[in-house]
Amino acid sequence: MEMTIRPRRLRSCDNLRRMVRETRVSPDSLIYPLFLIEGENIKEPIESLDGQYRYSPDRVCEEIESCLAAGVKRVLLFGIPKHKDAVGSSAWDPNGVVQQGIRAIKAKYPEMYVITDVCMCEYTDHGHCGILCGHNVDNDKTLEVLAKTALSHVQAGADIEAPSDMMDGRIAAIRDILDDNGFVNVPIMSYSAKYASAFYGPFRDAAGSAPAFGDRRGYQMDPHNRKEAMKECALDVEEGADILMVKPALSYLDIIRECSDAFDLPMAAYSVSGEYAMIKAAGKLGLIDEHRVMCESALSIYRAGADILITYFAKELAQAMREGELG
Residues labelled catalytic: 194, 247
* Peptide bond preceding 223 in cis form (omega within 30 of 0): no
Q: By three-state DSSP, how is residue 44 classified?
A: strand
Residue 10 φ/ψ region, left for φ over 0, alpha for ψ in the -120 to 50 degree band, beta for the rest: alpha
Q: By three-state DSSP, how is residue 186 classified?
A: coil
- Helix residue ranges per DSSP H, the chain: 14-19, 60-70, 97-108, 139-156, 170-180, 201-207, 227-239, 253-262, 273-284, 290-304, 314-322
Residue 186 φ/ψ region, left for φ over 0, alpha for ψ in the -120 to 50 degree band, beta for the rest: beta
What is the distance between the alpha carbons of residues 156 and 5, in angstroms, rounded to a whole number? 59
Q: What single DSSP character describes residue 81?
A: -
Could you tell me which of 163, 182, 164 has the C-alpha nearest to residue 174?
163
230-245 per-residue burial string, b: 16 or more CB within 10 A, e: under 16: bebbebbbebbbbbbb
Residue type, 232: E
Angle at 252 between CA 248 and CA 257, to 5 degrees: 120
Asked whether the CA dihedral 288, 24, 114, 152 is positive or negative, the reply is negative
Length of the chain (residues): 327
Number of Cα atoms under 13 Å in the Cβ half of residue 325: 13
